[in-house]
Structures are given as C-alpha cells and as structure tokens.
Amino acid sequence: MQRITCKFGGSSLADAACIQAAMDIVKANPARRFVVPSAPGKRSADDKKITDLLYAWHNMAQQGLDASEPRKIIEERFNGLAAELGVSFDVRPCLSEIAERAARDATPDYMASRGEYLNGRLIAEALQAAFIDPAEYIRFKKSGMLDPATYDLLGAVLKGDGLFVVPGFYGALPDGTIKTFSRGGSDITGAIVARASHSDLYENWTDVSGFRMTDPRVVPEAKRIEAITYRELRELSYMGATVLHDEAIFPVREPGIPIHILNTKAPDSPGTKIVPHRETATPVCGIAGRAGFTMFSIEKTLMNKEHGFGRKVLSVFEEHGVSWEHMPTGIDTISIIVRDDELRGEADAIVDDLCKQLDPDEVVVTNGLAIIATVGQGMNHHVGVAARLTGAIAKANVNLRVIDQGSTEMNIIIGVEEQDLEKSVRAIYEAFDNWQ
Ligand code: ASP
C-alpha cells in the first residue's frame, strides 16, 4: 500500500476550522500515515504566529521582563483549539515547564520548537495518532548539519501500519539540546519524515495552489507550474521563490520521492509536483528575481596571463567572510556579485584589500543591482533562448548590466538596476509565456 507523508504549514493550522480541514484531508486517504504539523500561524494579517510569540517570550525572559503576556496568549490559543476540537489536551503543565526553562537556561531554539511540539501533541490526540517527539529521533551533528543516522533512527519508530504525528522544525544535538532548522523549517522535517518512513510521496499542504511561473504580485496572471524538477526548483528558490523551504528537497532528492505542493483551502486543485525528472514541453519553467545585490568589477590588463588571479580575488572575499553569488568574467575583467546582506559593511575593506593584493587598474563597486534567474531544463534543446530574453529586456527599455548563462544551460542570470526589476520580470514572463 502507498505511504504518504503530509506536512501542514502554519497558515493551514491557524485555527480549529483549519486544523479540522487538515485532519479531514488526512482521513480522506488511508495512505496518509505520517503527519508533520507546523505551529499555528496567523489567523489574520494583524494576528501573531505562535513561533514569534515564543521567540518574544524568550527575549523577555532573557532581559528579566515579565513574560506573562505571550504566555497568556499562547495558553488561550491552545485552550481554544482543544475546546473547539473536542480534545482533552491541557497546555498548562507544558507551559509551566516552558516558563521554568525560560527563566533558567532555555535557548531560543528550545523556546521556538515548543510551538510545533504543542501543536503536534494536540493534533496527535485529535487524530488518535502516535506522537513522535523529534527531539529523540531527528539528530544534528555538533556542526549543526543533519546527522544521516536520523533516517534509520526515525524509520525504526515509523514502522507498522499506524498513523503518526511528528512535529516539524526541530531535532536535537548530540548532547540532547534542542535545535531548530531555520525559519519555515518544518518543510525540511516533512522531507526527512518522508525519507525515513519510505514514503512514496511527500505532500506539502500550504495556502497556495502550487508554484506560479513567477511572483504573482508582479505578474498576477502568472501560470501555475504543473511539474518542476528538484534542480529547477533549487535554482528558483535560492533566488527567493519561497513557497517551500529551499533545503527541503535534499532529504528526498536521493531516494527520488516526489513532493506535491497542495492547497488546504482548495484540496482538489492540482498543485505543483516536484519530481526527479520530467518531460520538457517549454524551455522556461520559472522566473525569479530579487533586489539587493552589489557588484565588484575588477579590471586589470592581461589578467588572463596572471596565474592564480581568480583565486586571489576570491580569497579576499573569503577572508572577509563574504560568500559570492555570481562571477561573470571578461578577458581583462572579473566581476563578483554578492548579496548586500552578506556584505555587512565590508565593501570598503574588500576594495582596499583587492587593491593591495592584486594591483588592479580599477575596482568599481555597483550598488542597487537586482538579479533575475530564468530557469528551465528545456533551455538546452532550444535555440534562441538567450536572444529572446535579451530582446525582451531591450524592448522593455531596460539596461542589461550583467548576463551569465550557467554551463548546465538550465538557467540564465541577468543583472539589472533595482528599479527595473519588476518591469524586467514582466517582460521575460511575456516573452516565454506561450513559447513552445
Ligand atoms: N514555525 C516555524 C516558523 O514559523 C517553522 C515552520 O512553520 O515551518 O518558522
């Protein structure tokens, strides 16, 4: 019989009606045996996420302030959920323990993890499912990386034909200290559970009906993507397409478990499938762009004759602890593009060191750059993709600052000025929307 892991995001579990809808989805298919809940999210735009309240509680406790306000809101929220769902789960003893730890030695990770823990306890009771605490089975190495031993450890308790609830977002370090993934990390837990339980499918239930070809705030009519490969998604999500945590594909990629992005509010809509391979109809499957990049352009005559020049350039960035994103090159130029939030005020010091260590003719720093990735595995079978893209940018009257095509021919990266970002994304979308 098929086995399905289903992860529900915070917006799909924000109130009792949402939780009931999620539970109805679980019950509608007996293959849905592994349930991974997030903490309850916002019920409206001005509501608070439980995770944020827990971080706030931790901050207040650290500063010796009275944290009764976040505690009270959390207590009322879970009491209300338990009453409406008709379960006996009592959050108060758990909150006393959390308060005691908050006053003593709680880390932010421990505090934040309690949202998923409490919601997992509540939902396990409502579904009459076994509750599995990830603190015992999801292991991190001391370095903070996931310990692959997790898969066997967790797999061993997910045996049999029962129904299991494994809260998202956290696990534990070798000394037992709770550690969370980064924000939105329940998606990663879902992927870990899918792999550990040998699921055939990982359903990721959220509040949108799958991915769109580009950001619908920029192109409202952007089409839904039916299927996308792990690699294509990776290219798009590192550029900021955010429906799924960008690390969630790693656990399922090796065993090739497909991820299906689905909408709890429209469970019958087909969503988007993330798959190991797909038939390619169109050359472009998605376009993602973001602002906030800086480019360092280094010019030196005959740099191509100087052995180790590129390595020296990159080592300057490494010495300043700055990761780079792209490196377009010319015969006498190398440009290094970095995210502004990576720079942390290091730009001037980097320029000084580049000048000292490389004796360049010129180093020019360009701020306010936006980068757009146009992605699709079908590009390498199509002639004229780059021409079509640059043509669209020119027609939109946008000055193209950078263009870089990866050698896998799966993406074309362009750089434009930040104020041209939206205009460029729209122009690229229109150029490829109906191009077969
Ligand atoms: N509750 C956590 C967060 O708000 C994790 C998650 O929802 O995936 O980031």
Q: In this predicted model, what pLDDT tens digit does every residue of 149-204 receive, in sequence order?
A: 999 999 999 998 899 999 999 999 999 999 999 999 999 999 999 999 999 999 99
Q: Same domain, yes or no, for 363 and 253?
A: no
- Counted domains in the chain: 2
Residue 278 in any domain: the answer is no
pLDDT at position 407 over 90: no
Q: Same domain, yes or no, for 265 and 293?
A: no
pLDDT of residue 240: 61
Per the listing, tokens 């592994």 go with 34
Q: Same domain, yes or no, for 264 and 313?
A: no
Continuous H helices in 197-298:
230-237, 250-253
Residue 71 in any domain: the answer is yes
- For residues 6 and 329, the model is more confident at 6
Residue 360 in any domain: the answer is yes
Phi and psi torsions of 377, nearest 5°: -70, -15
Residue 276 in any domain: the answer is no
Q: Same domain, yes or no, for 22 and 156?
A: yes
Q: Same domain, yes or no, for 165 and 211?
A: yes
pLDDT at position 392 over 80: yes
Q: Same domain, yes or no, for 233 and 163?
A: yes
Q: What is the CB neighbour count within 10 angstroms for residue 292?
A: 18
Residue 97, amino acid: E
- Percentage of the chain modeled with pLDDT above 70: 98
pLDDT at position 241 over 80: no
Q: Is the CB of residue 183 below 6 angstroms from any atom belonging to ligand 1? A: yes
Residue 337 in any domain: the answer is yes
CATH number, domain of 357, equals 3.30.2130.10
CATH number, domain of 145, equals 3.40.1160.10
Residue 381 in any domain: the answer is yes
Cβ-proximal residues to 254 (8 Å cutoff; 6+ apart), any chain: 195
Q: Same domain, yes or no, for 82 and 194?
A: yes
pLDDT at position 434 over 80: no
Average pLDDT, the chain: 94
Rounded CA-CA distance 255/249 in Å is 11
The rounded Å distance from CA 112 to ligand 1 centre is 9
Q: Of 164, 22, 159, 131, give the one whose Cα is nearest residue 81.
A: 22
Q: In this predicted model, what pLDDT tens digit does every residue of 264-284 receive, in sequence order?
A: 999 999 999 999 998 876 889
pLDDT of residue 382: 83
Lowest mean pLDDT among 111-120, 133-142, 190-199, 342-351: 342-351
Residue 95 in any domain: the answer is yes
Residue 103 in any domain: the answer is yes
Rounded CA-CA distance 251/257 in Å is 9
Q: Same domain, yes or no, for 234 and 314?
A: no
Q: Is the CB of residue 180 below 6 angstroms from any atom belonging to ligand 1? A: no
Q: Is the CB of residue 37 below 6 angstroms from any atom belonging to ligand 1? A: no
Q: Same domain, yes or no, for 327 and 222?
A: no
Cβ-proximal residues to 121 (8 Å cutoff; 6+ apart), any chain: 89, 94, 131
Per DSSP, the three-state class of 187 is: helix
Rounded CA-CA distance 109/106 in Å is 8
Q: Which domain holds residue 196?
A: 4-270
Nearest Cα residue to atom 2 of ligand 1: 184
Residue of 8, 11, 13, 38 to test ligand 1 pocket, by largest number of atoms within 8 Å of CB: 38
pLDDT at position 395 over 90: yes
Q: Same domain, yes or no, for 221 and 294?
A: no
